[in-house]
Amino acid sequence: MKITILGVLAGLLLLAIPFYVLFRYRLKVMGAVFVALVRMSLLLAVAGGVMYLTAMADSVAVTLGLSVLMAVVASLWTCWRSRLRARRCLIPVMSGMCSAALVVGLYVLVLVTGSDSPFSVSMVLPIFGIILGTVASCNARALYAYYAGLENHRQIYDYLIGNGASHKKAVNTFVRRALEANVIPQVRRMANVMVGVSPAMMWGMVLGGMDVPAAVVFDLLLTIAALSASVLSLVVAITVARRYDFDEYQALRPGTDA
């Protein structure tokens, strides 16, 4: 599939429909729509440029280095979206992010894709991008639920500790809430597979020349991989974060709130 300049102009012409409707009904969102389009175009241009340069370099080291950079950016975004202090949560979040990318990402590349060149740019960056994007969005909600629970319901933790519960058992009460916040949105998306991002990804693979059965199966496997990566990342992040969140007396440190 080749997109010509004429095709680009024809595609941009479709903006006339929403812009006319917005203007006709005098909705004051045209500026926001335009800014969003410009921002999206710039981000896509930067991402495309980086991928193009990485492909030109044709180096496994460069590709993996870019993957690490993606994990760092995703970790910073997760801290920002979860309203947590980066200086305290960045290391735990990055630990979980890198663990998910390495374990699940490499597993998919080597054992699932069946590619002769699993570490090529066309394989590594899309797989890692899908996994890291899913992990970032899910963990942002989950970590906010975890730390908000610790701060706003600290009396539950103190009550459990005071009644003989171990530190691990008391904390697991809030870990369960975080896992629910992580998994439930993904389960809902899986139950409504023909709406949202999943079908667009499947149709995109078909447009790219993949056979329809292969695209369907690969879409399913990527969804499973993203679910596994998000759960693994959250567990690792919370496990690492415990040394920052609690003091030597197993009391919640000040400033741990979301």
Domain ranges of the chain: 1-57, 60-245
- pLDDT of res. 157: 76
pLDDT of amino acid 257: 53
- Contact between 167 and 161 (Cβ < 8 Å): yes
119, 60 contact by CB (below 8 A) = yes
State the pLDDT confidence band at 35, using cuts at 50, 70 and 90.
Answer: very high
Give residue for tokens 């030109």.
Answer: 56
- Supply the mean pLDDT for the chain: 86
**pLDDT > 60? residue 255:** no
CA neighbor of 141 nearest in space, from 178, 176, 196, 90: 178
Fill in the DSSP letter of residue 102: I
Q: pLDDT: is 256 or 224 the higher one?
A: 224
pTM: 0.81
How many CB atoms are closer than 10 A to CB 151?
Answer: 14
Beta bridge partner(s), residue 246: 252
Each residue's pLDDT tens digit, 142-153: 999 888 888 777
* 52-69 per-position pLDDT tens digit: 888 888 788 888 888 889
Angle at 40 between CA 37 and CA 46, to 5 degrees: 140
- The confidence band for 233, taking pLDDT boundaries of 50, 70 and 90, is very high
For residue 30, name the pLDDT band (cuts at 50, 70, 90).
Answer: confident
Please state, in angstroms and rounded to a whole number, the distance separating the CA atoms of residues 215 and 205. 6
